Amino acid sequence: MSESVQNAASYEKLAMHIRAAYPVIFMLTAEESRAEKEIVGLSKSLGRKLTFWSHTDGFMSLGPNDSIVGSKDEKIEDYIDALSFIRTDPPSNSGKIYIMRDLHPGFTSPKVLRLIRDISREFKQNRKTMIMLSPINAVLPQIERDVTTLEFSLPKRADLLKVWNSLYETNKKAIGVVAEDEVELIVQAASGLTTVEAENSIAMSLIERQKMVQAKVSPLPSLSRLVMREKAEAVKKSGVLEYFDATETMADVGGLDALKGWINIRKNALTLQAQEFGLPTPRGILLVGLPGCGKSLSAKASAAIMGVPLIRFDIGRVFAGLVGKSEENMRLGLQTIDAIGNCVVWLDEMEKAFAGMGGSGSTDSGVSQRVFGSFITWMQEKTSPSFVMATVNRIDGLPPELLRKGRFDEIFFVNLPTDAERKEVLTLHVNKDRRKPEFRNGPWKHGMDDVFSEKDKTMRVFEECVDASKGFSGSEIEEAVVSGLHTAFHRKTNQKADYILSALINTNPLSKSAKTQLDAMKSWAEKNARAATSAAVAEGEGKRKLEM
């Protein structure tokens, strides 16, 4: 059974297990040094003797100033010999604590597993404790009932603040005064990293800042942003998480006014003020709809409007070939998200990972079921201020447990854009910054100026574009605009509504080729989801009146 050890309570939690004479503890941690420091302090407070062992250095003990020094008499480096040695340690060492570093590679040996079970039985009698430190959860079924697994969490705010204060004092003269608000943002930016990773990220950011000050760079980027950039590289190490520097805003999303309004009301739901107000920890939303209708774009824009990092959680990468690795990847990903705290977690096309859960146990020994179970339990029980934005293109085959109320705060159905929304999307894409140089300096408003040729100023062709795009997704409309731009470039002219109209007419939208899927999704959404477009906008379908 695995328990999570929080930093504030890890000392007491571990102490309780040792006082209760738990004989064998498997401590899951990526921070061996910090965990050992906790155990050293604990052993002193309990008055217990302490011995360390590693495969490279054999047995070691505490020296002056809590340094760890090797033992001349016990240069035992073999797994079996080391376990045999501590098993036969004199009874006079009752209450002794043994820290075994990276013992898990030896689990391949049946004799090692047998020795661990023997130690578990015998240590209970003389109140000794063996603590195995490991960065991966490698406890095998043969010994899981003889071993208690504790998870040593990533550093919390107080730990990261100590890291910042230590590094800042060394560089204070070169950096200058850093405001308290910025310090808080720096600590938030470092959340989710190990102590060493946080030290590296902050130190690198301080060095970069010094160079920028010397080079008289203006404006200077904030230190928190530099730390976040360094953090992005550290987050990638998990293999399943990826940091996105989201620049999209809700202004980049055409239509979906109901979804935008819902998110806008909750844009401050992840703040400390929201927690102090008593708002429950948000879970997130599930966006269901055909590809290209703005689901992923909405997830990116949500991070920007909430002012928090966007972390993409690639569930597909969780599954690995090695035994236990998939579960470990999921655990590590969720732990990192909890440690990061304030963030939007983006799960794109979630159905690809979780579809068909009902029969997966017969083909992969239940790995998919266990991974899925870990995820939905986390969604239900999570207390960290992280907001999940999950997107789904197909609802058939998804397990009902995922779709039931309580997993997400809301489920939105993102339908094909209405007349008014297609007009907004078309205007938005022609107005994009990368296209302005092709036309002129000022903004384009519904085709009423020189973006199009003189003959198009009547809005006739633009109106035809809106009509011709009926049944198109937002991404398909964007591609038509891009296609028109290619035509304009080839013909050495400005963009013309005729070019866009031609591209639309020659495109077969996904709504036609996937009509059965769309109809099924609409039918399901009527009973199970909320429309991302408000009723007022949807009712305006067919009643469009373009401004002249």
Amino acid at position 321, single letter: G
* Sign of CA pseudo-dihedral 369, 372, 374, 377: negative
Q: What is the pLDDT at residue 3? A: 43
Q: What is the pLDDT at residue 52? A: 93
pLDDT at 297 over 80: yes
| Tokens standing for residue 277 | 């107000």
More confident position, 153 or 459:
153
Percent of the chain with pLDDT strictly greater than 70: 85
Rounded to 5 degrees, what angle do the CA atoms 525, 260, 311 make? 90
Give CA–CA dist 161/182, Å, rounded.
Answer: 12
Q: What is the pLDDT at residue 111? A: 95
Q: What is the pLDDT at residue 427? A: 81
pLDDT at 342 over 90: no
| Residues forming beta bridges with residue 130, ordered by sequence position | 24, 98
Residue range 8-13: mean pLDDT, rounded? 64
Q: How confident is the model at residue 186 (pLDDT cuts 50, 70, 90)?
A: confident
| Tokens standing for residue 11 | 């000392």
Q: Per mean pLDDT, which range of 147-151, 246-250, 251-255 is the poorest?
A: 246-250
Residue range 345-361: mean pLDDT, rounded? 71
pLDDT at 415 over 50: yes
Q: What is the pLDDT at residue 320? A: 66
Is there a contact between 462 and 499 (Cβ–Cβ < 8 Å)? no
Q: What is the pLDDT of residues 139-151, one digit of tens each?
A: 888 898 899 988 8
Q: What is the pLDDT at residue 540? A: 52
Q: Per mean pLDDT, which range of 13-22, 37-46, 149-158 is the poorest?
A: 149-158
pLDDT at 288 over 60: yes
Give the DSSP letter string of 159-197. Answer: HHHHHHHHHHHHHHHHH----HHHHHHHHHHHTTS-HHH
Q: What is the pLDDT of residues 255-279, one digit of tens each?
A: 888 888 888 888 888 777 887 888 8
Q: What is the pLDDT at residue 99? A: 94
Is there a contact between 43 and 49 (Cβ–Cβ < 8 Å)? yes
Burial of 499 (0-12, 13-18, 19+ CB in 10 A): buried
Residue range 446-451: mean pLDDT, rounded? 40
pLDDT at 246 over 50: yes
Q: How confident is the model at residue 6 (pLDDT cuts 50, 70, 90)?
A: very low
* Its pTM surpasses 0.75: no
Give CA–CA dist 11/5, Å, rounded.
Answer: 9
Q: Mapping DSSP to helix (H, G, I), strand (E, B) and coil, where does residue 359 land?
A: helix
Q: What is the pLDDT at residue 73? A: 55
Residue range 493-498: mean pLDDT, rounded? 77
What does DSSP assign to residue 155? P
Q: Residue 198: what are its φ and ψ, rounded to 5°?
A: -65, -45
What does DSSP assign to residue 363? H
Cis before 282 (ω within 30): no
Question: Whose CA is closest to 370, among 383, 360, 384?
Answer: 360
Q: Mapping DSSP to helix (H, G, I), strand (E, B) and coil, where does residue 68 land?
A: strand
Q: Mapping DSSP to helix (H, G, I), strand (E, B) and coil, where does residue 33 land?
A: helix
Give CA–CA dist 118/427, Å, rounded.
Answer: 73
Give CA–CA dist 493/226, Å, rounded.
Answer: 42
More confident position, 382 or 1:
382
pLDDT at 298 over 50: yes
Q: HSE on the CB side for 466, CA within 13 Å?
A: 23
Give the DSSP letter string of 394-432. Answer: --TT--HHHHSBTTBSEEEEE----HHHHHHHHHHHHT-
How many helical (H) and strand (E) elements, i.e. helices and strands, does the chain have? 24, 15
What is the CATH number that goes with domain 2-152?
Answer: 3.40.50.300
pLDDT at 81 over 90: yes
Is there a contact between 309 and 340 (Cβ–Cβ < 8 Å)? yes
Q: What is the pLDDT of residues 214-236, one digit of tens each?
A: 888 777 778 887 887 777 777 77
What is the CATH number that goes with domain 243-251+259-413?
Answer: 3.40.50.300
Q: What is the pLDDT at residue 363? A: 53
Determine how β-strand 58-62 pairs with β-strand 68-70.
antiparallel
Q: What is the pLDDT at residue 546? A: 34
Domain boundaries of the chain, sorted by first residue: 2-152, 157-237, 243-251+259-413, 419-513
Residue range 468-475: mean pLDDT, rounded? 87
Determine how β-strand 148-152 pairs with β-strand 24-28.
parallel
Q: What is the pLDDT of residues 506-522, one digit of tens each?
A: 888 888 888 888 888 88
Separation of first and last alpha carbons in the chain:
69
Residue range 436-456: mean pLDDT, rounded? 40
Q: What is the pLDDT at residue 495? A: 75
| Residues forming beta bridges with residue 133, ordered by sequence position | 27, 101
Give CA–CA dist 296/392, Å, rounded.
Answer: 10
Q: What is the pLDDT of residues 90-131, one digit of tens each?
A: 877 788 999 999 999 999 999 999 999 999 999 988 889 999
Q: What is the pLDDT at residue 458? A: 40
Domain 2-152 shares a fold with domain 243-251+259-413: yes
Give CA–CA dist 425/367, Å, rounded.
Answer: 42
Q: What is the pLDDT at residue 112? A: 94
Q: What is the pLDDT at residue 446? A: 37
SS3 content of the chain, % helix, strand, coil (to 5): 55, 15, 35
Q: How confident is the model at residue 70 (pLDDT cuts 50, 70, 90)?
A: low
Residue range 408-434: mean pLDDT, rounded? 81
Q: What is the mean pLDDT of the chain?
A: 79
Q: What is the pLDDT at residue 302? A: 87
Residue range 63-83: mean pLDDT, rounded? 77
Using the structure block, give the residue that is written with the tokens 């001349």: 72
For residues 457-490, one letter each, b for 16 or more C-beta atoms within 10 angstroms of the residue's C-beta and e for the rest, the string is bebebbbbbbebbbbbbbbbbbbbbbbbbebbee
Q: What is the pLDDT at residue 53? A: 93
